């Protein structure tokens, strides 16, 4: 398999949650350009912060209790909420930002009485006392390159329920402009600030169709409006195929596979010893046949190679029900 994915971040932390935290900090964003007049949290800044705090992450890898205690407050099983809690820990416990607030709702009164939620600020904080208030809207997304009925290329979610272009339009045209509403201004004045600096923090993976040679070409396609958004050349990449086209042509000679539960979708897999969840290619095919006989939910699998002391992820991809 030719994945052309040379930009993957190596995260050699043993504890999977610490590795996820490191991934939130150090992984490349999906975009390198935002619409004119709007901002992204820059990859260079994230990488610099990650490098500065690697010792903190190593300490957490030895004793993850502080991180696990913070995450225990998250009662949701949604991956996006888990991502936000990891980001909150980074801001609060590692960067030690000031006046941190998470999911601040903005309400709009109704003529008939009551109120409706106009939106909410994902994160509000100051990097330091006296610094401007930051407003981050955050997202972690997984999209597959597919062709629609009109022959147009689109980035769609694994279950075909959402699209990257629609998500970006909402994030940049509504969520990051929330402060412009009078109700939001009143909310900001109430918490002690009248102006904010908004930016988008968007991470994830883009998956490309696997061809008959076992490779894919992750070129930057026009699945989002290039006049508004530019995909990062360094975004994390994967592949996808329909399960009846298995087996996959593997990247290296001796590989095993792991089927990832959704809460493990973030960071690259790192296993120091064989686990019961590791499968050879025949076992993977048998699992897929049984799975897709009863349901059509996609499976995210990783290809692993033994490298000196551990099984390391060398590629990942979605296996889909046959069309």
**pLDDT tens string 302-317:** 999 888 888 899 999 9
Q: What are the Cα distances from residue 273, in Å, to 12, 226, 264, 265, 276?
A: 14, 44, 17, 20, 10
User: Tell me, what's the pLDDT at 148?
Assistant: 76
State the pLDDT confidence band at 195, using cuts at 50, 70 and 90.
Answer: confident
CA–CA dist 149, 72 (Å, integer)? 44
CA–CA dist 154, 160 (Å, integer)? 10
User: Tell me, what's the pLDDT at 218?
Assistant: 61
User: Tell me, what's the pLDDT at 228?
Assistant: 67
CA–CA dist 212, 178 (Å, integer)? 46
Say what the pTM is: 0.91
Contacts of 312 (CB under 8 A, 6+ apart): 10, 268, 269, 270, 304, 305, 306
State the pLDDT confidence band at 17, using cuts at 50, 70 and 90.
Answer: very high
User: Tell me, what's the pLDDT at 86?
Assistant: 97
Q: Which H/E stretch holds residue 323?
A: none
**pLDDT tens string 221-278:** 545 555 567 888 889 999 999 988 887 766 666 789 999 999 999 999 988 876 668 9
Closest CA to 39 of 142, 143, 225, 177: 177
Is the pLDDT higher at 137 or at 114? Answer: 137
Helix ranges (DSSP H) in 212-280: none
Is the pLDDT higher at 152 or at 14? Answer: 14
Minimum mean pLDDT range among 175-179, 217-221, 259-263:
217-221
DSSP label of 8: P
Cβ distance 258 to 304 under 8 Å?
yes
User: Tell me, what's the pLDDT at 4?
Assistant: 45
User: Tell me, what's the pLDDT at 5?
Assistant: 46
* pLDDT average, residue stretch 278-293: 92
CA–CA dist 147, 41 (Å, integer)? 30
Is the pLDDT higher at 59 or at 108? Answer: 59
**pLDDT tens string 53-75:** 999 999 999 999 999 999 999 88
């Amino acid at each position: 398999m030719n994945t052309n994915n040379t930009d993957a971040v190596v995260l050699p932390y043993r504890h999977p949650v610490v590795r996820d935290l490191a991934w939130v900090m150090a992984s490349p964003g999906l975009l390198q350009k935002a619409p004119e007049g709007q901002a992204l949290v820059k990859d260079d800044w994230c990488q610099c912060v990650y490098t500065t705090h690697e010792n903190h992450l190593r300490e957490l890898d030895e004793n993850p209790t502080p991180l696990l205690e913070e995450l225990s407050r998250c009662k949701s099983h949604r991956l996006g909420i888990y991502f936000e809690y990891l980001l909150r820990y980074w801001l609060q416990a590692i960067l030690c930002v000031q006046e941190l607030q998470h999911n601040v709702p903005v309400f709009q009164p109704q003529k008939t009485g009551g109120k409706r939620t106009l939106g909410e600020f994902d994160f509000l904080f100051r990097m330091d006392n006296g610094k401007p208030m930051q407003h981050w809207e955050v997202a972690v997304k997984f999209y597959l390159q597919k062709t629609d009925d009109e022959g147009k290329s689109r980035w769609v979610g694994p279950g075909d329920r959402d699209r990257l272009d629609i998500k970006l339009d909402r994030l940049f045209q509504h969520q990051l402009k929330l402060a412009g509403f009078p109700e939001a201004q009143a909310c900001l004045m109430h918490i002690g600030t009248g102006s904010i600096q908004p930016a988008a923090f968007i991470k994830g993976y883009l998956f490309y169709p696997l061809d008959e040679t076992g490779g894919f070409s992750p070129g930057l396609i026009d699945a989002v409006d290039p006049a508004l958004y530019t995909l990062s050349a360094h975004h994390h990449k994967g592949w996808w195929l329909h399960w009846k086209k298995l087996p996959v042509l593997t990247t290296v000679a001796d590989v095993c596979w792991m089927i990832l539960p959704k809460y493990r979708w973030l960071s690259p897999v790192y296993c120091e010893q064989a686990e019961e969840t590791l499968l050879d290619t025949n076992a993977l095919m048998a699992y897929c046949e049984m799975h897709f006989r009863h349901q059509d939910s996609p499976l995210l699998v990783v290809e692993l190679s033994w490298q000196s002391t551990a099984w390391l992820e060398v590629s990942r991809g979605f296996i889909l029900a046959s069309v």
